[in-house]
Structure 1
Amino acid sequence: MTHTVEPSRRSVVLAGAAGAAAAFLAPAAPATAAGAATAARTAAEAAGLQPYASYWYPDSLPAGAPGTGITWRSLKEWRAEDDADLAFNAASVPLAQRFTPVPVNTTARAGQARIQSLVSFGPTSLNPSQGAATADYYALTHWAYIDELVFWGGSSGEGLILAPNAPIVDAAHRHGVPVLGNVFLPPVAYGGQLQWTRDLVQKDASGHFPLAAQLVAVAEAYGFDGWFVNAETDGGDSALATAMLGFLTELRELGAAKGQRVTWYDSMTTSGSVSWQGALNALNRPFFETADSMFVDFRWTASKLASSGTLAGELDRSRYELWAGVDVEASGWNKAVDWDAIIPRGRDHVVSYGFYRPEWTRNQLPAGRTPGQFHAADDRFWTGQSLDPSQPDGASGWRAPATAVADRSTVTALPFATTFNTGHGLRWYDGGTAVSDAQWNHLGLQDRLPGRRWVVRTEGRRPAVSFDFAAAWRGGSSLLVDGDIDAPVTVELYATRLPLSDATVVELTHRADAGDVTVELAVATGEPGAPGAPVPYTYLPAGTLRGGAGWTTATLRIGTLSGTVHGLGVRLTGPGAVAYRLGALAVRDEVVSPAAPAELRVTDSATAAGETALRLRWSAAPGPVRHYELHRMLPDGTRRFLGGTCQSAFHVSALRPEQGETEARFEVRAVGELYATSGAASTVHPW
């Protein structure tokens, strides 16, 4: 992947990240004026409280000094107990189990090709741990088609080993997707030093590989699922290759005991040189046999992939443990790909595939792009031009994942609730009211989202369906169905495996922005008879909404049905133009509220130019918690929303005292799966 390191672009990204790195709903602090040494010191201290995603060199550091905002660290020296940012970076959501429903079309295959996604969510350095004060973010939502996410990045001038930040891991885990950190040993042309490869595979006196143990310890402490190892620094020999194989063996063995995995990138060969094969063959076979899977370099051809799949079978390995690289960084869905070499339509898939840099869907949009524009582009990338996986594109040159790969779901237990929050927004809503007008992003706050976007069944005109950011019930977005309908329209939302009891109810929080619309809940207690067949719904009345009347919640008892809920949706009937907004959906047997956290405290503070930055910590609430929300209590008794996180630590910046205020008061509450909030833990900070 020698084309991936672009110093000029990286410097631009670094500059942008520096401005966004703040508590995700706090305004950026103004630059401190040059002046007294004390002012400079306090400004540096305030900036130093901002936690960032972690990155390291294996052991030895480069010559010279790091650039502005970059911290050089040695992985060999890392210890969890000394990691000041660990509380902000450790993911808290466990990896959910997934199931595969009956495919929504006849072309998507279950049990064959899967998709790996290599994504650069931000720069290596200055990548905020807990979101930032901008809605312009790659808020990935099409988790249903992804089998493995790689937190891509690394550079010779910043660091080579990247641990994914917690919001990404929490969102991925909620949807059942494992996340791998990245070990990037760059080409010599991009600053790579062979010493760093030798550092990585060094042995201790007992013959073990200490950095293999370190990588496993980092992944365990940070809560992610293993490592993508990309050794592209040329100049090695067979002895170095042998050492690398020993390192990978120990990394995989130690990691497997912790539920971790290893993916190897097709780069170094058994000779120790870097020679991208574009295939599984004798030169890289031992590395594939040592790892859990292998990313096949972009140099593949149809014949190379065919022989690779055959060799994998001969090794008693699945051919779908090979990811054929598809580079979409520059051209996205315009990329010319020999799809029949990977996922032919008329026979079994050959191998799996890996998207390199699908965040193109955001990056290709012009300056001033909105969250809605991003999701429209991302839907086209993953679903296809039809924007409906039940009606896959035919002869399109872009073979969207929904047309080939069966989707998956994690909606298997009660209570289940969603507010259709995508993990970023133009403001933050609570109960249908905007409680903050600041832009934000934080993927850890993303809900479990519909996997099939958007399946619409109607005999008449098809309305547009989208995530919309102009209004929401909770979070930053809602589901909007907008159009002139002349026949009943069923919008399929979730494939589920939810147990039914006599007490089970479904709650719909919704409104009609324009036009009157009659709403029915679509509930399926059985599977479709075959791929592509319609879901066998039962329709339950949920009321008629009047345009402009505001939010309302319909509570429907579905305990009269029996068995298991396999599908959920809504059916809409209207006299013409409608704009139906669904703000929340919940399925429960009982109302469950979370216990309160405890011992909220300020662990560090710094003030510069009249503004204060704080680090807050608290003791986690006992029992299940979806996330925590923090507020500042103002002298007039009102609350100011500061942000949310899945962790038990939070950073906030740019705080100023209110008129007559001698101390700032803060509260943190736990939020449960049904979005009920707990009592508060509180603390004060004197001005």
Structure 2
Amino acid sequence: MSAVAATVGAVPYLPGSPMPTPASRAAGGDPDSIAPLFREWPREDGEGSFAFYLDSRTDLDEFLAFDYRNADLAHHRSFVPRARRVTDPSLLAAQPELDARPQVADFSEFYSFVEHGADGFTYAHDFRAGNARDVQVPRFHQYRDLVSYWQVFTAVPNAALTDVVHRNGGRCLAFMFNSGPTNFSRDAMLRQDPDGSFPVGDRLVDLAAYFGFDGYMFDMEEGVVDSADKPLLLAMFQSMHERARMSGFEIHLQIYGPNPDGRSYADWQSISQEQADYLTTPDAADSWFLDYSWSDYLDTTRDTLAVTDIDPYGQVFFGIELEGFRGEIGVDTTRSPLAEAIPPHGSRQPLGSTALFSLTAETTRRVHAELKDAHGGELPDFEEVRHAVYRGERRFWSGPHQNPALPADGPIGLYGMADYVHARSAVAELPFLTRFNTGASDQFSLAGRRSSAEPWYNLGIQDLLPTWQFWTRNLTTGEPVTGPLDVDYDLSAAFDGGASLSITGTPQDDDGVEIRLYRTELELPAESWASLTYTSRSVAHLSLGLVFEDDPGTTTWHDLDDLPQNDDFGPTWGYGSGGRGWGRGGWEPTSSWAAGWRTTRTGSDWQQAVIGLGGEEGRTIVGVSLAVTAPAGTDVDLRIGELAVSANHLQEQTPEAPTGLVLEDSRLRPDGASAEARLIWDIESSVAYYDVLRRGSTEDAAQLVWLGRITADRCYLQKVPVQEGETSVELLLRATAPNGRTSEPAAVMMPVA
């Protein structure tokens, strides 16, 4: 599924142009803009602070007095619930010898720039999404258990980040640098009212409850926790946990560097028995980020873990410094101590979990350096840079071979994180539907048709991407391979969203290639089925493979070429209220079509194959693969636009048309060619997301132009196209259920004269 508005933002930023200044960001490049930016409150230096910055310059009285339930900030709430992950990630794993217990915390830039790297991070962070083409969005949330960011100190994470982290089953934390006025002392963060309550702690919990995120990472490295104040700090943490439960959620509080009197680096690079009570006191800190030189004090931490009931995998995160590294992309065993905490390839028992710092910016910087070395000191064209940046990200997570099942080799290994920890999967509930939307693209498609040619970025609408990127195996031998087929995302072709999965290459033999995509936990009810939507510009044969929990060593293959063509039934997942579900329009489990069929998606070049799984009732799918076979020397060129697993009764839900749709505000831009708009409606928890569209021109009113997608009760549209001579524009809001079925639209008129 996908979620969140695709045109929330203020200043379109184009590759190669100068970075906007803070002043232009504050005004959105347009002092009359109606963009719902994070508003400001005064700091000690007299300047404002975006996005609830809570740092050494913050006036806590202003922070407590600030009205966060205002009309602008209501646009920055996350409504995506945290998904359940599969129970055992070691089953059907790319490297099954790995220990399943270690976790990964990631403190990185989630909106870095493809060409400008981290220089654009703060600018992009100010907005939930926008129309910039240059923004990089991370594609490996399946490895992340705790997610925050380092470059900005805010009490509220960006809603797009919270959305995608929750969809992948992780926790999203706000990050704060606590020193000066925000230090953990009784005069600052630990102030206590006569009734025993902690006003700052209470406010932090209320922010998490309202904006939909999971907790906080408190960076205490610059602030001393006085021994007399330590009991007060523990009491505030306990109060925060209790208040969160009363609000209906479990909060997660991570600490970094709580320094006692005397300030020793060892006090925040190890866990001494004196400091252990931060983790052993009930409802105090939930986890600890150990500073990067922890290996120098490892005996202290080991001794403490041996005599306490601290959970080293859920509570202890050994920090890995990536900022400023200039080696190859990956975890360099000659520079990184990670192997001391989590041995690669499961060679011994791990000590705990790990926390990564600034991997996105540093990986991008290294990619830039490689490209400049190869191009005479200059970056090549944008497309080549973007391709290399995302390949660099894959090298970091999946290893130098970009295949998580191929361990790093050589005496000095450049390892990927897949050599240390398992990928996690949130594909654990039916119906399952993905369109491989990465969250940033140059276009947007609906039902196989191009619906917008505007570039956009929006991490919040990223689908559940493949668990393994990309685990390719020889179809005959089962051995992992680096070729001959290349698997990637194609941002120029999509069935629904901004991307599809591309499979290209030229096989050198007839063995075929298996692409293991998803680790799943999908128990099949009666009348279940799987569906694949694809296009092919070659003679390659495509098969869908399923692995079941009761026989994990066997893949059951379904050759799509064996399915008969039948366009009478129509598509299983249709865009629009006329979309049909299997079991509607004549299908019966005992009919001659029970094994499935192929059909052409209406009005497009996309084919859909539907595979009947009625005979597998009660079994649990734990893995989904594709197989591609073609004669040696034949070019393969495939696009996968959609993958789904569902059942007849799950397709019966068609959402009602949205209610309560109103135009909160609108404004025609000075050029007259576009307008801004703010919409509000009644959100329904059963809806996966809402699409916002506009009718086409008077000559083509049936053509729908996509403007945004969101899982929320409102959105801001930065660029609504306006045709010459129009006096009003009809905006449409359409709801989509988790099964892919869509509602009739609600409509509102926006004046533009």
Structure 1 window deviating more from structure 2 (266-275 vs 588-597): it is 266-275
Match of residue 139 from structure 1: 137
Match of residue 692 from structure 2: 630
Match of residue 6 from structure 1: none
What runs of 5+ residues in structure 2 fail to find an aligned partner?
1-5, 18-25, 112-120, 369-378, 478-482, 563-597, 599-603
Question: Is the 8 Å Cα contact of residues 95 and 404 (structure 2) preserved in structure 1?
Answer: no
* 1:333 partnered with 2:391: no
Per the alignment, in what secondary structure is the counterpart of residue 678 of structure 1?
coil
* 1:573 partnered with 2:629: yes
Per the alignment, in what secondary structure is the counterpart of residue 75 of structure 2?
helix
* 1:678 partnered with 2:740: no
Looking at structure 2, the residues matched to 623 and 249 of structure 1 have their Cα atoms a distance apart, in angstroms, of 31
Match of residue 489 from structure 2: 467
TM-score relative to the length of structure 2? 0.77
Per the TM alignment, residue 55 of structure 1 is displaced from its structure 2 partner at its CA by: 8.0
Match of residue 567 from structure 2: none
Per the alignment, in what secondary structure is the counterpart of residue 141 of structure 1?
coil
Alignment of 1:263-412 (within 5 A): 263-271=253-261, 273=263, 275=265, 277-282=268-273, 284-289=275-280, 290-301=284-295, 304-320=297-313, 321-331=315-325, 333=330, 335=332, 336-344=335-343, 345-360=346-361, 361-366=363-368, 368=382, 371-395=386-410, 397-412=413-428
Deviations 1:462-516 (A, max 9, x none): 3111122131111111111111222121111111121224411211111123x21
Question: Is the 8 Å Cα contact of residues 270 and 283 (structure 1) preserved in structure 2?
Answer: no
Match of residue 571 from structure 2: none
TM-score relative to the length of structure 1? 0.84
Match of residue 46 from structure 1: 32
Of the three residues 80, 83, 89, the one matched with 1:96 is 83
Per the TM alignment, residue 196 of structure 1 is displaced from its structure 2 partner at its CA by: 9.1
Of the three residues 507, 511, 515, the one matched with 1:491 is 515
Alignment of 1:179-190 (within 5 A): 179-186=172-179
2:716 maps to a residue whose letter is H
Looking at structure 2, the residues matched to 310 and 195 of structure 1 have their Cα atoms a distance apart, in angstroms, of 27
Q: 1:126 to 1:504 in 2, by over 3 A?
A: closer
Per the TM alignment, residue 663 of structure 1 is displaced from its structure 2 partner at its CA by: 1.5
Alignment of 1:518-529 (within 5 A): 518-526=541-549
Question: Is the 8 Å Cα contact of residues 256 and 289 (structure 2) preserved in structure 1?
Answer: yes
2:530 maps to a residue whose letter is V
Per the alignment, in what secondary structure is the counterpart of residue 46 of structure 1?
coil
* 1:210 partnered with 2:203: no
Structure 1 window deviating more from structure 2 (448-457 vs 609-618): it is 609-618
* 1:647 partnered with 2:712: yes
Structure 1 window deviating more from structure 2 (446-455 vs 554-563): it is 554-563
Match of residue 47 from structure 2: 65
Per the TM alignment, residue 683 of structure 1 is displaced from its structure 2 partner at its CA by: 0.7
Deviations 1:506-565 (A, max 9, x none): 11111123x211111101223666xxxxx41111121289xxx94211111121234122
Per the TM alignment, residue 240 of structure 1 is displaced from its structure 2 partner at its CA by: 4.2
Deviations 1:423-468 (A, max 9, x none): 1111112222322111111122111111112121214853111122
Match of residue 4 from structure 1: none
Per the TM alignment, residue 138 of structure 1 is displaced from its structure 2 partner at its CA by: 3.6
* 1:121 partnered with 2:110: yes
Of the three residues 530, 538, 542, the one matched with 2:556 is 538
* 1:164 partnered with 2:162: no
Question: Is the 8 Å Cα contact of residues 432 and 474 (structure 1) preserved in structure 2?
Answer: yes
Looking at structure 1, the residues matched to 638 and 244 of structure 2 have their Cα atoms a distance apart, in angstroms, of 48
Q: 1:173 to 1:97 in 2, by over 3 A?
A: same
Question: Is the 8 Å Cα contact of residues 106 and 356 (structure 2) preserved in structure 1?
Answer: yes
Question: Is the 8 Å Cα contact of residues 323 and 353 (structure 1) preserved in structure 2?
Answer: yes
Per the TM alignment, residue 273 of structure 1 is displaced from its structure 2 partner at its CA by: 4.8
Question: Is the 8 Å Cα contact of residues 106 and 144 (structure 2) preserved in structure 1?
Answer: yes
Match of residue 601 from structure 1: 662
Q: Report the RMSD for the aligned CA atoms in angstroms.
A: 3.3
* 1:557 partnered with 2:622: no
Per the alignment, in what secondary structure is the counterpart of residue 474 of structure 1?
coil
Question: Is the 8 Å Cα contact of residues 229 and 262 (structure 1) preserved in structure 2?
Answer: no
Aligned residues: 634
Question: Is the 8 Å Cα contact of residues 329 and 359 (structure 1) preserved in structure 2?
Answer: no
Looking at structure 2, the residues matched to 151 and 440 of structure 1 have their Cα atoms a distance apart, in angstroms, of 22
Of the three residues 433, 445, 467, the one matched with 1:417 is 433
Per the TM alignment, residue 668 of structure 1 is displaced from its structure 2 partner at its CA by: 0.8
Looking at structure 2, the residues matched to 42 and 50 of structure 1 have their Cα atoms a distance apart, in angstroms, of 7
Q: Percent identity?
A: 24
Per the TM alignment, residue 415 of structure 1 is displaced from its structure 2 partner at its CA by: 1.2
Per the TM alignment, residue 124 of structure 1 is displaced from its structure 2 partner at its CA by: 5.3
Question: Is the 8 Å Cα contact of residues 409 and 496 (structure 1) preserved in structure 2?
Answer: yes
2:689 maps to a residue whose letter is H
Match of residue 157 from structure 1: none
Question: Is the 8 Å Cα contact of residues 190 and 233 (structure 2) preserved in structure 1?
Answer: yes
Per the TM alignment, residue 602 of structure 1 is displaced from its structure 2 partner at its CA by: 1.4
Deviations 1:406-433 (A, max 9, x none): 2222212221111111111111122223
What runs of 5+ residues in structure 1 fail to find an aligned partner?
1-20, 32-39, 155-159, 530-534
Alignment of 1:241-256 (within 5 A): 241-256=230-245
* 1:614 partnered with 2:695: no
Question: Is the 8 Å Cα contact of residues 415 and 588 (structure 1) preserved in structure 2?
Answer: yes
